[in-house]
Every structure is written in structure tokens, then in C-alpha cells.
Chain A
Amino acid sequence: MITQSSPLATYDPTAFWDEMFSAPGVVRPHYAALARRLETLSADEVTRRQRAADLSFQARGITFAVNQDPSGLEKIMPFDLIPRIILPDEWKRIERGLEQRVRALNLFLHDIYHDEKILGSGLIPPELILGARGYRREVRSVEPPLGVYTHVVGSDLVRDHRGDFYVLEDNLRVPSGVSYVVENRRVLKRVWPQIFADYPIRPVEGYPQDLLSVLREVAPPIAETATVVLLTPGVHNSAFFEHAFLAKAMGIEMVQGSDLFVDDGTVYMRTTSGRRRVDVIYRRVDDDFLDPLAFRRDSFLGVPGLLATYRMGRIGLANAPGTGVADDKAIYAYVPTIIKYYLGEDEIIPNVKTYVAADPSERAFILEHIAELVVKSVNASGGYGMLIGPHAPKVDHEEYRRRIRADPRGYIAQPTIALSRHPSWSAGSLEGRHVDLRPYVLFGKEIRVTPGGLTRVALRAGSLVVNSSQGGGAKDTWVLG
């Protein structure tokens, strides 16, 4: 079915799971129409569209600032033209799996801040929970609206060499990237509209409106018509574009800490016509920086007195403070246990096998097999603070052994997963690149999973790190209807 001259003819899917090819020259059925489109295009034409997409991102300022770059440079997230396609049945399972997971994690959070039943169950070492950096004693016995803690979740899914999905980690604090889901779709439609004709693709543009509904649902009961704002750390934050994008799409104010103040148990924003009450804050600021009176005293990003107002139930915060304990990478290892404990069900999407260094026998295993494992710091994100054993030199192995011995609670290890690959456009030809998938889950009165999510792609050949801060790019992701 593939002609010899086409760029698809020479593509080598190798031993990894390839999303598009089941064998060299054999395209999976749901990719067949896309393959036909690709065959009609010359390499020059694809490159031209690629350039048009890059220019569009640049002109619209769809950029991120790299966290550790002091010059505050703005970069575009590299965009790969070839979309990823997910079948309806595959998606249904992902949806159910994520819903189950998010429901269980919220029951877990409610429990550890109220009845503490799981602490006495012997299933998870209590010190692992109470000693987690994300655990906030300040919100104990505070009842969040609807009992929901994580209104926005982005969980990272990966596929192994057999094509099975696993959850690699959960992001329950301030997950970012959803703006790229919407923008990638918009840009791909603009530069390559023809390929949309062949598929019934579920739209993603409704996300901001769905988010706004959820935010309104967590308003304190005293508010008749809720005033919702988005709290950003400011233009130097790596996700500033996304904050502006969401605020604009929802038609709400984007505020900085200095725009808000607390007076007599009420949060106000400073407007041109005086103070105005705020009922719900979609905060894109970490717990640590939220309120200098409650958490880090040197924070200029937050609002003094905000946490006290939250404890009184007079302001809605999304996500609620204290969710970090549940996406701690050591707690992650226990998520299947958590699902079983609260829902009495087996997990629909399995975890990746995880060794917790806080456990003496698992620690011994990690230290011995460090060259085969991926070691991660339990609190780091964005691809920082991790060791990929098979690719790292011996000195790094030694360094991480030292770190693990010094701070066992701070590390976990996982086997290296052979992430699935997807054809990507690279310098004039199709090349296999490793991908993951971050779907977004909204939780208010009910749980809603946005169809698709962000497919991140490690654009460097052979690289397994998909984070945008580490040279990763993104693809449009289609869930077929």
C-alpha cells in the first residue's frame, strides 16, 4: 500500500511500539488516511507547512520562559505537524481509568485531612504521608466545596513496547500545558486543513468553558454570582502564556498577588472603581507561595491572609491547598492501594513498577540496580532532578547512590520504560520519536476528561525526556468520535 518513493517507505518503526506502524511499511488502519495524505506531499511541502506553523506560534506569542534561564527568554514549544490519533475504544478506557484514579485520590486527600482512616490501616506507612513535603497541616479539617481538592489534574500516561498504557505520574497541584492542546489544534487546522477532512475528530475548544463551570461550582455558598479570577505569578513564569490564554478564553480577570488583598475575611481585587469582591481563585501559584503569612514568608507572589480566608470557607481555591501530598512520587507507588482501599476496585490503568527508597529492602534493590533504573526525586518536576541509569555515566550513578543514602524519603526508582514512538517530521524526513500523553481531568460536580490531551514528543533522536524544558515538543492529539 505504500509506494517506494514515499517518505513512509523508508520509515523504520524498530522494536519500540510505534503508534502509526505495526511493521515496516504496514500502517495501522486508523492511520491509513493520514498516510495517504502524507504520500501526496513532497518533503518541501511538509517543511513549508512546518515553517508556517512555527511562524504562527511565534507571531501569537505562544511561548514559554525556561525556568532556569536568567535572561527570561521566551521560546516557542516546538510543534510537530504529524498528529497522533487515538481510537474511541482506547480513549474510553483511558477516560474511565483517569476518572477512577482522580476520584480515589480525592477521597484519599479528604481522608488524610479529616478522619485519617488510612493512616491506621497499615497499608501505607503514615510517616510517608505526614512527612511528605506537599502535606499541609494548615488545611486539616477544612472542608473544601463539594469535597473536591483537585479541580484540574494532568496525569502523564506512557505506552510500553506492547502498547499497554501506564500512568507515569499525576500532576495534582498546578498542571500546565492545556493551552497547547487548544492552540496546537488551531494551528494545525490553519496550516494543514486538508487532513481534517478524513477523520471525525472530537473538538477540544470547549475546555476553557468547562473549566469556568467547574470554578463557578467551587464558589463559597455566600456568593450569589461568583466572581472568578486567575492568579498568575506574572510574566516571568514559564506558563504565563497559558494563564493569559485561559483568562481571556474564560473572560475573567488575570490577577497578580499585588492586585488582591484580604480585608475582614473577604478577598478583594483593586479595580479602577475601588475594591471588588473575589469568590473563586484559579491559582497558578504553588502552595508554598500562596500566602506569606501561612507558608513561605519571603513570597511576593501570594496574598497575605488568603489561607485564613480559605479556612473560613469564604474563598474558593482551585486546586485546594495541600494536594501535593497525593502527587508525591513516593505516594504514587501506593495509588493502586488507594484505589482498592477507597473504591474497592482494581486500577484500570496500571502504575509503572516503583521502588520506594524509604523502604529498606527496596532501597537496597535500587542501590544495587541503579544502572538499569530511572531514579527520580519525589518533589521535582519538569524533567529536573532525575537520573536515567542506562544512559548515565558511572559518576552519576555514584552521585545518586550518595543522594539516596543521605535522603531515602526523597527518591524513588522505576524500570526504564521503552516509551512508544510516533513518526515525527525531522529535517526533511519522517523519524520515530518517543511520546507520552497528558490528558486533562476537570472535577467539579462531576468528572470530565478533555478528549485528547497533550502529546509530548522528545524531538532529539533517542531521547526519552519529553519535557518542554528539556527540548521536548508537542503534537496535536486526535480522539476519534
Chain B
Amino acid sequence: MLARVADDLYWMARYVERGIAVSRLIEVTRHLELDVGVEDSDFWGPLVGAVDLSAEDVSFFLLSDRLNPDSLVSCVRHARELARGIRESITSEMWEELNTLQQSLALPGKQRQAQGDSVSFQRQIRQRLQYFQGLVGSTLAHDEPWNFLNLGTYLERADGVVRLLRRQAHLLAPRDDEEPSDADMVRWLAVLRSCGSAEAYARFYSLRVEPARIVEFLLLNPVFPQSVRFALGAAEDALGAVAELRSAASNDPGPAGRTLGRVRADVEHVAIDEVFEVGLEEFLSGVQGSIARVSDEIVATYLRDEPQPSRLVGVARAAQLMAAQQQQQ
């Protein structure tokens, strides 16, 4: 398929997934505010890495600020613009869903709703974006374009959950008093809900909600599709299917494949206490950095078709190193 089309598919999927994540975050924070009360702490500022911003400002910024490229309405707009340029490569169902969603946002009634009843506004948008993801699975052939869409969806999801854990770490931090209060419980559940994972967590552990288990669940669970480990595994499958097409003859997975394989293995083969031994923030920032590198390498290898260093370079370097080591012995 055309490299440009693959590029647009990849980013379209990322914007759809990003929109879903932003939408959840807004909804959860609104509920948190209602349950715990605003005097107690600032829930909105940390979402955008700032202090002294009003809840209205932050929620507007995340929900409907057209100048914020990652706001919910911007995500929908970007995804729809990309879809329009490649509408011949996606199914009519997919295109019409994004097109009518974007059109509905432009209606005056919708804009009023965004201000008045922002919770149901963003919930409706999220449901339609999730519906779109369902259409991807059910209307598009599961071949190369589908793999690029999955690559975008799952890398974005892994990145989003890692990012969220970093931003919400303060909600999980232990407090001075020994016994967790109801308010603590509410905060912790909010972290799970931000990833759409509260029900799955309850089912999986059927135990008290505890911060360390929450991190374990969101980071390391092998079967729940919102966990980082699951998302990285799915991204690796998608990339593997694409790489197979490109270099069927060589046993080299390419730079993106190597980086993704390493970070996926790091997450797959770590125990939760080891994560905290390293330090949660440090572990998360390492994972996030790798995901960003994978994305850059995918873009360079598949989407921009930049010239790749010949495999001979790698083999020649290996021979040099081998010779040097033999001399040392």
C-alpha cells in the first residue's frame, strides 16, 4: 500500500484512541470532584501539568479547545480530516462514522451542550469513537491497512496509559494516616476508571483496591486490552505482520521491531515489586521513551520510506567487533 496512506491510517487510529482516552479522563475527573470535593485537592491542574488553573479552564482545554491539538474535538477533527484524504482506502462505514460525528459537532445545539452538559457531550463522542473502532474490526479486511490501524491504536493506548499513570501517581501516593479512608478509595478507583478498567480490576482481583495492585493491573496484566503489556503485545503483532511483508527474506525485524520487542519484553518479564524497586516514575518514563522511539522508527521505515542503512553495515560491524574480541583473548 502507499506509504502516505499507511501514515494517515496510523495517525487516524492514534487520534481516535487519544480522543477516547481524553474523554475518559474528563469524565473521571468530574466525578472525582463531585465525590471528594474541590477544596480538598486540585484534580485538574495535574492533568495538564499546571497549577492555578480553574476546573472550567482545564476541562475546556481538554474538551473543546480547537487550539489544543489533543483536545477531544481536535482529535475528532484530525481523525476525520485524515479519513477524508484516504477515504478510498477505508470502508464507507468507517468514513461515514467519522464524517457524521464531525458534522454533528458543528451543530449549534452540540456546542451549547459542550458548555452546559459536558459529561454527556463527551460520553456521546466517546461512544461513537469506540463504535468506530468496532467498525475497523468488522468492516475492513484484516490485512496491511488494518495492521497499520492496530499499530496506531495500540501504541497510542500503551502511551496513554503510561502517561496517565505518571500524571495520576499523586492520587495513588500513600498518605500519612495508616488506614485508607473512603476518600482514598475514591481516588484510587478514579485511576482505574480513567483507563476504563475498574470493572475488570474488580473481576480480576476481587479484593480490596490497593495502589500497588492498580499499577500492576494497568501495567502488567496479560489479557486485559487496556493494560500496557497487552497493548504493546498487540502492537508488536501488528508490526510483525507489516514487517513480514517488507523483509520476508531477511531475519531482521528492523529498528522499530527491535525497539518494540525490547520494551514489550521489559514489561512482560518484570514483577510489580521490581517496578517499584527501580522506581515507578523511572520505569514509566523509560517505557514512554521507548514507545516514542518505536513510533519515530515506524515513521522512518514504513511511512516516509527513508533509506535504511544496509544490512551489510551491521554485518561488517559485527565482524570488526568479533575480530577485536578475539585479539583480546
Name A's B-contacting residues (CB within 8 A).
58-61, 234-235, 243-245, 247-248, 253-256, 258-259, 269-274
Contacts and interface: CB of A to CB of B under 8 A. Distances in A.
A273 B85 contact: no
B290 interface: no
Interface in B16-51: none
B3 A272 contact: yes
A274 B4 contact: no
Contacts of B96: 59-61
Interface centre among B85, B246, B302, B303 (most CB of A within 10 A): B85
Contact of A259 (B4, B84, B242, B245): B4
7 contacts: A60-B95, A248-B87, A270-B2, A271-B2, A272-B6, A272-B246, A272-B305
Contacts of B92: 60
Contact of A235 (B85, B100, B246): B85
Contact of B88 (A59, A247, A272): A247
Given A59-B99, A61-B84, A248-B87, A273 B245 contact: yes
Interface in B88-115: 88-89, 92, 95-96, 99-100, 103
B297 interface: no
A263 B226 CA distance: 46
Nearest to B7: A272
Contacts of A235: 81, 84-85
A272 B144 contact: yes
Contacts of B144: 272
A348 to B, nearest CB: 37
Interface in B277-320: 302-303, 305
A61 B4 contact: no
Contacts of B99: 59-61
A248 B305 contact: no
Contacts of A256: 4
- Sorting the interface of chain B by its residue count into under 10, 10 to 19, 20 to 34 or 35 or more gives 20 to 34
A463 B84 CA distance: 33
B131 to A, nearest CB: 15
Chain A interface main SS type? mixed
Contact of B2 (A58, A244, A255): A255
B2 to A, nearest CB: 5
Interface centre among B3, B81, B245 (most CB of A within 10 A): B3
Contacts of B321: none
A270 B87 contact: no
A234 B85 CA distance: 8
A274 B305 contact: yes
B176 to A, nearest CB: 55
Contacts of B223: none
A263 to B, nearest CB: 13
A247 B99 CA distance: 19
CB-CB nearest 4 A-B residue pairs: A248-B88, A247-B88, A244-B88, A244-B87
Given A58-B103, A61-B95, A272-B242, A253 B2 contact: yes
Contacts of A61: 84, 87, 95-96, 99
B116 to A, nearest CB: 25
Interface centre among B81, B84, B87, B88 (most CB of A within 10 A): B88
A61 B88 CA distance: 12
B67 interface: no
Interface string B1-18: 111111000000000000
B4 A270 contact: yes
